[in-house]
Structure 1
Amino acid sequence: MTAHFAIPATTVVLRAIIQRRLDAAYGTLAAPTVSVEPPPRPAPPPNGGGGQPAEPAGVHLFLHHAAPNPAWRNMYEPHLDSAGRVAGRSPLALDLHYMLAVTGADLEREVLLGLGIVALTRHGVVPRPLILAVLSGITVPANPTSLMDKLPTEPLHDPAQQPQQITLAQAPVDVDLSTKIWSALQSPMRPAAFFLATTVFLDVGDTYPAATPVDEPRVGIRPDPGRDTAMPPDVITVAEALP
């Protein structure tokens, strides 16, 4: 079973978790929209000169890296048939590394960063009913025109497709790695936090073919050359008689 939309479906669910937190915090005010794009580059100065325009408030949940989960990768060995051919492979499970970056003027950026961190931290284990509710709430067009129109059909909540629940944890990214990521994005450094989503299954393994039926049973006896024929030493236990 292959989960084609497991990665984007995970991103959509995490974005919805943050957006709900922002909407609750802003109340009657207009909350910023959570974007899955990388943090933007600075806007060019106006033609007439003057200072840099104020940056609008925004939250960016950007998937910057995906790595194989070492535990699931080493849990299974490839299944081989009698001829030594690979008949079944181990599940393909990934850990997703996200950057949570915020933009805005003055201290509103720090408010947004705190709300985003709280939203993801409070969902250390993403419930399967929440995943189903988020994906089911996406409107599916009657005539899909793009591949992403089929995203709501991803069974990310199904244990048969995702044997392990998705967990979230803040990643301990140091200043050196953070600086490298910002440099690669060619964007000025802003308040940010990094999160690890584990584990997302893209392929839960192949179905093993049925074994070849036995045509002629053969039963035989042969000596075991590796057997230890030495007799164990006799052990005599002497116990003191009680008076």
Structure 2
Amino acid sequence: MSNYLAIATVTATLRRIIQSTIQVDVPGARVTTVRPETSGSKTPEVGVNIFLYQATPNPAWRNHDLRSRRPKGELIKQAQAGLDLYYLMSFYGNEVELEPQRLLGSTVRTIVDYPIITPEMIRETVNNPTYSYLADSTLEQQVERVVILPSMMDIEELSKVWSVLFQTPYALSFACQASAVLIEGNKTSGRALPVRRVEFYTTPNQPQITQVASEVGTNQPILTSSNIIIRGQYLDGDNDSVSLRETSRQTMRESVSQALRDRIQIRIGDAKLIPSKISENEIRLELSALPTEQVRYLRAGVQSLQILHTIPKRLRFEPELAIGSNVMPFVLCPTLMEIEVQELEDNRDGFYTAKLRVEVDLIVGTGQRVLMFLNERASNPASYIFIAKSRSEETNEVIFPIYEVKGGQYLVRVQIDGAESPLEVDTNPDSNTLEQYVSPIVLIG
């Protein structure tokens, strides 16, 4: 989602792309974003004025976010608002040389050429020194792109808009709509500690891969240090190429095992991995034993896993072919490696503002959504959710600005695209914290 600067960022981006084209078509023309007035005051003598005259709730996103609170008012999730923005573009210039009409044509052509505000266009706007006040805008992280569409407005509707502008002479106008701008609430909700154990589970029933799970348990998180067990049918493919008549049983097992490892791969996202143990109904994949060049392709979040059986080449110039299984999703969770408190400030009354630098074992992409959950270790615990600072490059270090946090010890979890880092449980029978979450912990204050 995007923050409170989203509306201004859309207006500034629209102004910037129109300015870049009209100054070529009509030399000396410029774009303003003020209330329409007599030409030569605040509006340009030759140019376009973009005026945001209305913002209304977007119907689709208004229904999408109906249940953000419980009946008593507590937040279930961070609230959001989807808005449609309505712009009135007025054109000024020498009527004899038809400058307003030329500017109208140039502006409409620009909207046709750039109907979608892309993340690249947004970054160019917020990085422009002219718009330094938009440096903290997060519009580029919005899940849905903002689309610019011409508005259907007849002379009656247009006259109603201009009648609101008291004693302002009419100028040649064109209306357009930006849809939808999503603004996320700033008030965060608490999040309960995760459930470690459930009594039952269900798995999809498919003809090839039927289950992907951690070796330590079906409902346990899968980490980069885990061993993955893949269960299903016909996972080892066709082994008729090895004949019992030609080899002993032991030699055959060794030959089959080596042959399978050579021609069976496990694809997880963009990474192609080699399994360590293969049988007809089960494949074992040791993530902890993977080379660094394979681990760097893994990302936290929902991953797609597929088994590939390569087909041996009969001729040297034949292309490489493979038979793929069904695709099975699983969640790869990050692990917290290091937590550091930076720029700690005492806000008085026992509350603090700071930045937390968190290092995880997986590379975090620039477009991945990263959240941090803090749960206080106290009898009356406080809980917080914070969003990571936006990143310009892929990295395993993430910065979280935190504010108005009560001083104390907090259990820390990081969630990347829905995948949460695990908490450590005390299993020492002589400990006072037996069967309680004990780490990772950060001290605030």
Instruction: Name the TM-score, length of structure 1 as normaliser.
Output: 0.69
Matched, 1:193 2:182: no
Compared CA separation, residues 86 and 121, structure 1 to 2 (3 A): farther
- 2:12 equivalent in structure 1: 12
Compared CA separation, residues 2 and 163, structure 1 to 2 (3 A): closer
3-state SS of 2:53 partner:
strand
3-state SS of 2:20 partner:
helix
Matched, 1:117 2:114: no
Matched, 1:170 2:150: yes
Deviation at 1:33, TM superposition (A): 1.1
Q: Distance in 2 between matches of 1:85 and 1:32?
A: 52
Q: Distance in 2 between matches of 1:131 and 1:85?
A: 35
Matched, 1:61 2:58: no
Which of 153, 169, 180 aligns to 2:160? It is 180
Aligned 8 A contact 1:91 1:205 in 2: no
- 1:127 equivalent in structure 2: 118
CA deviation vs aligned residue, 1:175-233 (integer Å, no higher than 9, x gap): 1111011121132222111000011122168655324889xx9xxxxxxxxxxxxxxxx
RMSD: 2.8
Compared CA separation, residues 58 and 43, structure 1 to 2 (3 A): closer
Q: How does 1:1-243 map to 2 (within 5 A)?
A: 3-26=3-26, 30-41=27-38, 56-81=45-70, 84-87=72-75, 88=77, 90-106=79-95, 107-139=98-130, 149-158=132-141, 162-185=142-165, 186-203=167-184, 207-211=188-192
Deviation at 1:103, TM superposition (A): 1.1
Q: Distance in 2 between matches of 1:139 and 1:105?
A: 28
- Matching residue's letter, 1:155: T
Aligned 8 A contact 1:63 1:98 in 2: yes
Q: Which runs of 4+ in 1 moved over 6 A?
A: none
Deviation at 1:2, TM superposition (A): 6.2
Q: Name the structure, 1 or 2, with higher relative contact order (CA <8 Å, separation 6+).
A: 1
3-state SS of 2:135 partner:
helix
Compared CA separation, residues 73 and 188, structure 1 to 2 (3 A): same
Q: Distance in 1 between matches of 2:40 and 2:121?
A: 37
3-state SS of 1:154 partner:
coil
Deviation at 1:43, TM superposition (A): 7.3
- Matching residue's letter, 1:92: A
Compared CA separation, residues 43 and 8, structure 1 to 2 (3 A): closer
Identity percentage of aligned residues = 27
Q: Distance in 2 between matches of 1:114 and 1:78?
A: 44
Q: Tell me which moved more, 33-42 or 98-107.
A: 33-42
CA deviation vs aligned residue, 1:101-155 (integer Å, no higher than 9, x gap): 1011221110011111111222111111111112212257xxxxxxxx5322212
Compared CA separation, residues 190 and 80, structure 1 to 2 (3 A): closer
Deviation at 1:90, TM superposition (A): 3.9
Deviation at 1:37, TM superposition (A): 0.9
- 1:239 equivalent in structure 2: none
Q: Distance in 2 between matches of 1:123 and 1:34?
A: 17
Instruction: Name the TM-score, length of structure 2 as normaliser.
Output: 0.39
Q: Which has the higher helix share?
A: 1
Aligned 8 A contact 1:42 1:188 in 2: no
Deviation at 1:167, TM superposition (A): 0.4
Aligned 8 A contact 1:98 1:194 in 2: yes
Gaps of 5+ in 1: 45-54, 141-148, 218-243
Gaps of 5+ in 2: 199-445
CA deviation vs aligned residue, 1:151-178 (integer Å, no higher than 9, x gap): 22212212xxx22111000010121111
What is the count of residue pairs matched by the alignment?
A: 190
Q: Distance in 2 between matches of 1:19 and 1:63?
A: 17
Q: Which has the higher strand share?
A: 2
Compared CA separation, residues 199 and 205, structure 1 to 2 (3 A): farther
- Matching residue's letter, 1:85: G
3-state SS of 1:153 partner:
coil
